Structure formats: C-alpha cells, structure tokens
Amino acid sequence: MELTIEKLTKRYGDKDAVKSVSLNLTPGVWGLIGANGAGKTTLMRMLTGILSPTSGRILYDGAEISVLGERYWDRLGYLPQTFGFYPEFTVTDYLEYISALKGLTRHQAKRRISMLLELLALDDVRKKHIRKLSGGTQRRIGVAQALLNDPDILILDEPTSGLDPGERARFRNLLSEMAQNKIVFISTHIVSDVESVATQNAVMKNGKIIGIGTTELLLEEIHGKVFYAVIPADALQTYERSICIVGVKSEGDSMMRVRYVADSGQIPDSCPSNPCLEDLYIYLFHEKGGSHDAEA
C-alpha cells in the first residue's frame, strides 16, 4: 500500500501554501513537522480530498484519489485540526452517528465502538455528554471517530494539541498500536510527540518539504554541532544574537546553562551534546526564521 504525492501545489492568490511537494507514504507512522503556517493543514486537506490541488496529483496504489472518490474515502480516517462534534451527544451517540455516516452496519458499529472505547480509554465516559469532557478527552473522541472504519490511511492534524503531558505520553503509546499496517500521517509542531514513534519524518517549511527521513537521518544535519555551556545570565542576550540557542536553564548565582547549535563550540568551556529532533526543529525554524519567513 502506498500514497504517492506528486508535485502537489496549492496556491492562494499569489502565495503557494504548498509548493511542489512530492512524498511517497508507506505503512508506518509519518511525522509531518513544521511551524505554524508551514502548509501542513493545507497538505493534509488535499490528502483527504476535501481540498483540490492547484496542480499535482495524489495516487493511492497508483490510482488518482479524485477518480477513486468513495473507494478512497472508505479507506481513509481523518482528524481535522478543529473538528465539530455535537455537544449534546453522548460519546456513544456521537460514535454511532459517525458510524452510520461512514456506512457501517449496526453490528459493525457496535463491535468497533466497543473496541475503540477501550483502546482510547474512553469507556468510563461513554455515556457522558461530549460538552462536559476535557479538551484532551474530546481529542481522543476525535481520534476514535477517525478510526471507526478501520482505515488504511489515518490523517491526524495536530492530534496532541490541548493534551496534557500524561495524555501526550499515552497518545504516543497508542500510535504504535494504531499504526499496524496503516499509513499514519501526523502533523505537529511539538516534535517530541513524534520523535520516538515516527518511522519517518517530513519537515515542512514555507510550503516545501525540506527534509525527509528517519529521526536519525535528519539529525545527521546537526551531528557534532550541539553543545551546552554555562554562561553569566547577563551575557545571554549577546549570545542569542549570534548563536542558535535551543534551550536555557537557570543554574543559580546569576548563571545560565545554555544548549546551542553551531558549527563549533563558540562559547568558552562548551561541552558537546547528543542532538535531538527538537534541536533540529529550533535550528531550522527559529535561528534562520527571519530570513526564511520572507522566502517565497
């Protein structure tokens, strides 16, 4: 199974929200990482068929999704960035309703809902009105509705937004279970949410994919370039002007421990550190942010 994206572009006025993106998605968890406005939602909405591309094609096992229509949507599950639920519905009513819209029989719906309530730890709230539930629980209900038809392709737009750290950790564990034999495509700007679970990552910036690969492969770009050092707190601003600082922690006594990315240790007594995806993300999106934001 594969989802092939060929030179996909979406233009709004004179701006390309997505610019000639090509990507071959195979089963596994794919992290789509990018800052706000990078084009993630636009790309995902085109993958669902909701939004038509200005140019380019999306192929599901070699056939264009626009031609497959229902046959493609039957295989698709989608969690939009903001999804409208019916606040007066109970969790079970809502999932039964969406099951009916997706064409499941009552019997199929019952079995599937019961399995998903357990998988997503929603059993205790099954009879509660959705409006009374926390943002994190509502997000899990969103994931459940996307999984009702046991899709081959699961597209989750910022699934962890609004989750607390405990819920995020649970979600990461869930992902690996959900991803069996599926293409799971997850957008996030919280890199730690996909770092440990993504089989592959695609890094998006200004509508373009600027990196594709495993976390290890992507990290090669900053291999040997991450350091930490202890500096006087009042020197921080000066260093920030010339170095990509990715983390700061107070050390007491007006001293700061800084983590930074640079070609060599630019602060006296720096020690090398192992890079992580968050370092790369800040390096790509913040350090050079000013100039890149102006890019076409």
Ligand X SMILES: Nc1ncnc2c1ncn2[C@@H]1O[C@H](COP(=O)(O)OP(=O)(O)OP(=O)(O)O)[C@@H](O)[C@H]1O
Smallest distance from ligand X to CB 203, Å: 12
Q: In angstroms, what is the minimal distance from the CB of 206 to ligand X?
A: 9
Q: How far is the CB of 35 from ligand X (least distance, A)?
A: 7
| Candidates 40-48, 133-141, 163-171, 255-263; binding stretch for ligand X (CB under 6 A) | 40-48
- Near ligand X by CB under 6 A, which window of 31-39, 83-91, 111-119, 231-239? 31-39
Interacting residue with ligand X among 3, 23, 34, 148 (CB under 6 A): 34
Please identify which residue in 21, 23, 42, 72 interacts with ligand X, judged by CB under 6 A: 42
Spacing of C-alpha 189 from chain mean position? 7
Q: Which is nearer to ligand X, 24 or 82 (CB)?
A: 82
Question: Measured from the CB atom, is 82 or 173 closer to ligand X?
Answer: 82
Answer yes or no whether residue 116 interacts with ligand X by CB under 6 A.
no
Q: How many residues at the interface with ligand X, by CB under 6 A?
A: 11
* Binding to ligand X, residues 54-93 (CB under 6 A): 81
Q: Is residue 38 a contact residue for ligand X (CB under 6 A)? A: yes
Contact pick of 3, 5, 17, 47 for ligand X (by CB under 6 A): 17
Question: Under the criterion CB under 6 A, does residue 41 sit at the interface with ligand X?
Answer: yes
Question: Quick one: which segment of 30-38, 82-90, 166-174, 247-255 binds ligand X (CB under 6 A)?
Answer: 30-38
Mapping DSSP onto H, E and C, the string for the chain reads CCEEEEEEEEEECCEEEEEEEEEEECCEEEEEECCCCCCHHHHHHHHHCCCCCCEEEEEECCEEHHHHCHHHHCCEEEECCCCCCCCCCEHHHHHHHHHHHCCCCHHHHHHHHHHHHHHCCCHHHCCCEHHHCCHHHHHHHHHHHHHCCCCCEEEEECCCCCCCHHHHHHHHHHHHHHCCCCEEEEEECCCHHHHCCCCEEEEEECCEEEEEECHHHHHHHHCCCEEEEEEEHHHHHHHHHHCEEEEEEEEECCEEEEEEECCCCCCCCCEECCCCHHHHHHHHHHHCHHHHHCCC
Q: Is 12 in the site for ligand X (CB under 6 A)?
A: yes
**244-252 vs 15-25, strand pairing mode:** unpaired
| Token pair 């039964």: residue | 96
Out of 1, 2, 24, 37, point to the residue binding ligand X (CB under 6 A).
37
Q: Does residue 46 belong to the site contacting ligand X (CB under 6 A)?
A: no
The residues of the shown chain that bind ligand X, judged by CB under 6 A, are: 12, 17, 34, 36-42, 81
